[in-house]
Amino acid sequence: DTAVSQTPKYLVTQMGNDKSIKCEQNLGHDTMYWYKQDSKKFLKIMFSYNNKELIINETVPNRFSPKSPDKAHLNLHINSLELGDSAVYFCASSQVGILEQYFGPGTRLTVT
Amino acid sequence: LAKTTQPISMDSYEGQEVNITCSHNNIATNDYITWYQQFPSQGPRFIIQGYKTKVTNEVASLFIPADRKSSTLSLPRVSLSDTAVYYCLVGYPRSGSGNTGKLIFGQGTTLQVKP
């Protein structure tokens, strides 16, 4: 069973479009995250979501918005996509208060 | 905020011990040090975590000096399958409302293990 899953694995779209990436975890974790990994392999946290409390990295544009329908899901919505949004996006989860995170397989977003 | 610095790349041979050092001069009192491994086209995978001194598990050891300004991940007797990117993470977990947590990844060290 996949612990943390993401869909789609690949996403190719044009500038200006709106897209969503879905994430689900079956580990019963309380906290979920979204990360962005750029072409130089830098990993940066975008959001942390726990018990309906969202913590936003201040450098993330407000075109990005996480949506959590329930504890097991944290989706990422991106409006008005830009070329610089091209990257691999990872979802992760952990128990609250625990640093050990479980990452999904990633979604490679390409904006043309 | 604590910034982490790692070597960009390292080469090794099968059977050797590999030590990857991460520098985190501005580490805070409540920060932990965690290491992750990432294979191509996969998400990072937790390896080991520590606060001070030495921690060992079935896959690696983590050495943290008394001043905690650096840490060293030690991989004993590496094999070809250990070829991956290794990330140092400094921070503390989010522990509920009002405590946002802090997670800062290093730029990663690409380890290439040769036969």
3 state SS for B33-66: EEEEEECCCCCCEEEEEECCEEEECCCCEEEECC
Residue contact B43–A97, C-beta within 8 A: no
Residue A52 lies in a domain: yes
B8 vs B86: CA distance, rounded Å: 10
- Tell me the C-alpha to C-alpha distance, in Å, between residue B99 and each of A59, B68, B92: 19, 23, 10
pLDDT tens-digit map of B47-99: 999 999 899 999 999 999 999 999 999 999 999 999 999 999 988 776 655 55
Residue of A nearest to B44 (CA): A103
Domains of chain B by start residue, with CATH: 9-114 (2.60.40.10)
Could you list the residue range(s) of the whole structural domain that residue A43 is in? 4-102
pLDDT at B4 over 70: yes
* Nearest CA distance, B92 vs chain A (angstrom): 7
Residue A12 lies in a domain: yes
Residue A74 lies in a domain: yes
Residue A43 lies in a domain: yes
Q: Which residues of B touch A98 (CB under 8 A)?
A: 93
Q: Does B114 touch chain A (CB under 8 A)?
A: no
Residue A53 lies in a domain: yes
pLDDT at A41 over 90: no
Domain of A88: which CATH number? 2.60.40.10
Pick from A45, A53, A97: CB nearest B103? A45
Number of domains in chain A: 1
- Across A30-34, A68-72, A105-109, B26-30, the highest mean pLDDT is recorded for A105-109
Three-state secondary structure call for residue A32: strand
Torsion sign (Cα): B92, A27, A43, B68: positive
The residue with tokens 């606060």 is B51
Pick from B42, B94, B101: CB nearest A105? B42
Q: Can you tell me the mean pLDDT for A65-87?
A: 94
Q: What tokens appear for A97 in the block?
A: 């208060």
Three-state secondary structure call for residue A83: helix
Pick from A55, A100, A104: CB nearest B100? A55
Q: Can you tell me the mean pLDDT for B16-25?
A: 96
